[in-house]
Structure 1
């Protein structure tokens, strides 16, 4: 069947590689935990497959990059793009707190079980277990606060991509960030409240893809499958 959405701009969600805290499941927000050796290898493997001229992420077709200021995200950028690509993308690269990880506040460095136990001792969550998507974090961010900063990025992306819905020029966008915030971004991309259930997984070093249906900027969508061959 014909590819009715060929040329439509895309948004690539890149989760940083593995860290010691991601292995253990500890909530990692502002803590600047470096990539493990395996985490660097994860990103390098992804880069070889999907980054380069004629590949899924072609630096010549990237209009903008939003990168978290945490070192694990910055290092992921350094591994994902080679030196020539980095020079090509230098003026398009934006390090911004708007795509940092969820601010976990009192829950930084804890496991989900520890958070729920601590909240239970305070008499919280009697009706249902703690859920970050609805309850947010003590001394950290609420779902509403996260929504506000992600919506600002989405507005910028739509402004960049809106005039080029039929591939008039390359306006792909890359986000390099963290597990929770990229899943939150996906919900907001398709207009879901963060409280709305949408089970998602994004492994360390992996890449997700968002786009639009029918070449329309007001029809944002998941891109469930991406052809791994050469781009036309």
Structure 2
């Protein structure tokens, strides 16, 4: 980041670590699936590299942490923040946000993409093009519904960060959530519709970084997406 933008507020996207369903590619919405041992290691490795005093995610610079209510995200926050999590909670900087719950997959829950497409074909759907969640949504939550709840959170974030675009007061935000939801968040941050093709893959336990261009809240930008392998 250029020096002139070094104080620009940032939004860190933290994807939860691996679960048994994410490892196999199953769609995991509201089902409570714990992190695997590898998943915990993934988050712990990311934490050691990026979280802490003087590191990329510096607790002293955090204004708010919003976490999905699902246990895999809550556990990811505990592993990421480590001993700093209680201090952040004491400062009322940590909240659970329903807006960050994963896409509601409805009857597609626990299935693979090809299985969902086969199910929809049996229902007489998708006669011209194959099912795409970004365009078609699910039988429980449409792309527009996901858009609406993400936009409501973005509005809260920008209201929090707007007063500090140029005063260098630390105002970073951390979001701990899920694969589809965080990619959807990045699209909406940039003002794109859900069906827009945005190549931003986040590995389990990976970190995404969003910010603004030239300290202008009307010019959002995606800066980086990074991930760290779990130690053997």
TM-score (norm 1): 0.94
Is 1:95 paired with 2:96? yes
TM-fit CA distance, 1:168: 2.4
**Which residue does 1:54 correspond to in 2?**
54
Structure 1 runs of 4+ off > 2 angstroms? 1-4
* TM-superposition CA deviations, 1:108-153 (whole Å, max 9, x none): 0000000000111111101100000010001x11000000100010
Q: 1:221 to 1:44 in 2, by over 3 A?
A: same
8 A contact 2:14–2:175 mirrored in 1: yes
TM-fit CA distance, 1:2: 5.0
**Which residue does 2:230 correspond to in 1?**
none
TM-fit CA distance, 1:6: 1.4
> C-alpha distance in 2, partners of 1:18/1:11?
22
The RMSD of aligned alpha carbons is 1.3
**Which residue does 1:40 correspond to in 2?**
40
**Which residue does 1:114 correspond to in 2?**
115
8 A contact 2:47–2:81 mirrored in 1: yes
Q: 1:117 to 1:46 in 2, by over 3 A?
A: same
TM-fit CA distance, 1:87: 2.2
Q: Give 1:1-232 correspondences, 5 Å limit.
A: 3-83=3-83, 85-90=84-89, 91-138=92-139, 140-224=140-224
Q: 1:10 to 1:147 in 2, by over 3 A?
A: same
8 A contact 1:11–1:175 mirrored in 2: yes
Q: 1:121 to 1:225 in 2, by over 3 A?
A: closer
TM-score (norm 2): 0.94
> C-alpha distance in 2, partners of 1:183/1:71?
20
Q: Structure 1 stretches of 5 or more lacking a match? A: 227-232
Between stretches 2-11 and 147-156, larger displacement belongs to: 2-11
> C-alpha distance in 2, partners of 1:102/1:86?
26
> C-alpha distance in 2, partners of 1:179/1:224?
16
> C-alpha distance in 2, partners of 1:165/1:176?
23
8 A contact 2:200–2:225 mirrored in 1: no
TM-fit CA distance, 1:89: 1.0
Q: 1:222 to 1:156 in 2, by over 3 A?
A: same
Secondary structure at the residue paired with 2:210?
strand
TM-fit CA distance, 1:165: 1.1
Secondary structure at the residue paired with 1:208?
strand
TM-fit CA distance, 1:96: 1.5
TM-fit CA distance, 1:166: 2.6
Secondary structure at the residue paired with 1:223?
strand
TM-fit CA distance, 1:36: 0.2
